[in-house]
């Protein structure tokens, strides 16, 4: 389809939201970053790191694809868990297309079975993406694809390795063809609708998980308190890391402050690469008891506070 404007003929644009759903650690964040070609959402070995619907934005041919990287869907126990699962499914129902990700190595386990059963009720075209195919023999991949397609109808099936990029271009091309006709919703040079303050907090939170993935539970969050663009083109950022107990604060600080210094250095280096300017990062650690039950914290993370 083409549109004629002022004597010139241009191809019509397409634009749509694509939700990625799947169990924790299936590779949704890695796939978002591979599709966008830049880091817009944190990737961690820890499950449940994507707390809000951080969007990556892709331009492919004449289409703008807005990727909704939902929290991993799991069996919720705590209030925060329930909020994240609710957010994930609302993202799926509100999108134009849904990509259901399966881990090639894990296959259809109890979590994947539950996701496939519930995804069948989503009234949009659904695409099956089998990730981490480099870890599994071809015969097992074909059997997994057949088993998943027997459980529900998929418009397309892709077998990829998000971490190496194998198969990612094919998904990008297909999504561009499948999103509905319409004008772009974001500027062409924008990669994410997450404000830089939020992305900076996410990056620091990722570094905390990388350093303390065995020692620190999920009761931690990071907030960007100040963001100052200085005359010398550098950026001064102040962030607070909130934990629930004094014992956790000591873990984050480390002996003689060594751990917090290492976290800060890693976060600052990545922020400098993204912003392409010098970054002065100052981290503080505070105890905020029961922050997981505070509605204000949920609003800041972009998820709905569950009342029960």
- Residue numbering of the annotated binding site for GTP: 22-29, 69-73, 131-134
The SS3 call for residue 33 is: helix
Half-sphere exposure of 238 (CA within 13 A, CB side): 4
Rg (CA), the chain: 20
C-alpha closest to that of 100 among 135, 142, 152: 152
Annotated binding site: 22-29, 69-73, 131-134
Specify the long-range contacts of residues 231-235, CB closer than 8 Å, at least 24 apart: 232/278, 233/277, 233/278, 234/277, 234/278, 234/279, 234/280, 235/271, 235/275, 235/277, 235/278, 235/279, 235/280
Question: Of 29, 57, 60, which is closest to residue 175 (Cα–Cα)?
Answer: 60
Phi and psi torsions of 302, nearest 5°: 80, 20
Distance CA 141, CA 23 (A): 18
Decide if 53 contacts 69 (C-beta within 8 A).
yes
Give the count of beta carbons closer than 10 Å to the beta carbon of residue 216: 18
CA distance 49 to 52: 9
What is d(CA 281, CA 110) in angstroms, rounded to the nearest whole number?
42
What angle separates helix 196-212 from helix 246-253, to the nearest 10 degrees?
90
For residues 65 and 99, the answer to whether their CB atoms sit within 8 Å is no
Q: What is the residue whose two structure tokens read 């999108």? A: 95
Distance of CA 173 to the CA centre of its chain: 20
């Amino acid at each position: 389809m083409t549109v004629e404007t002022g004597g010139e003929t241009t191809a019509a644009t397409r634009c749509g939201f694509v939700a990625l759903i799947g169990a924790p650690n299936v590779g949704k964040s890695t796939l978002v970053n591979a599709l966008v070609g830049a880091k817009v959402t944190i990737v961690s070995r820890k499950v449940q790191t994507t707390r809000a619907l951080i969007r990556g934005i892709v331009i492919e041919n004449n289409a703008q694809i807005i990727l909704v990287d939902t929290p991993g869907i799991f069996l919720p126990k705590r209030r925060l868990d329930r909020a994240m699962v609710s957010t994930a499914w609302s993202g799926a129902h509100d999108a134009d297309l849904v990509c259901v990700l399966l881990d090639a190595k894990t296959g259809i386990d109890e979590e994947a079975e539950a996701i496939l059963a519930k995804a069948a009720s989503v009234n949009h075209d659904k695409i099956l993406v089998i990730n981490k195919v480099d870890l599994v023999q071809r015969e097992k991949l074909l059997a997994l694809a057949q088993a998943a397609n027997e459980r529900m109808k998929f418009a397309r099936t892709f077998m990829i390795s998000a971490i190496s990029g194998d198969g990612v271009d094919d998904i990008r091309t297909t999504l561009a063809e499948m999103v509905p006709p319409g004008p772009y919703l974001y500027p062409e040079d924008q990669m994410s609708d997450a404000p830089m303050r939020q992305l900076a907090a996410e990056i620091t939170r990722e570094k905390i998980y990388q350093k303390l993935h065995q020692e620190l539970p999920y009761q931690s969050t990071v907030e960007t308190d100040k963001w100052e663009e200085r005359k010398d083109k550098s950026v001064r950022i102040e962030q607070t890391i909130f934990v629930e107990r004094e014992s956790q604060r000591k873990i984050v600080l480390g002996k003689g402050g060594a751990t917090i210094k290492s976290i800060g250095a890693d976060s600052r280096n990545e922020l400098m690469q993204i912003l392409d300017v010098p970054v002065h990062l100052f981290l503080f650690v505070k105890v905020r008891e029961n922050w997981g039950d505070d509605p204000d914290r949920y609003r800041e993370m972009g998820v709905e506070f569950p009342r029960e």
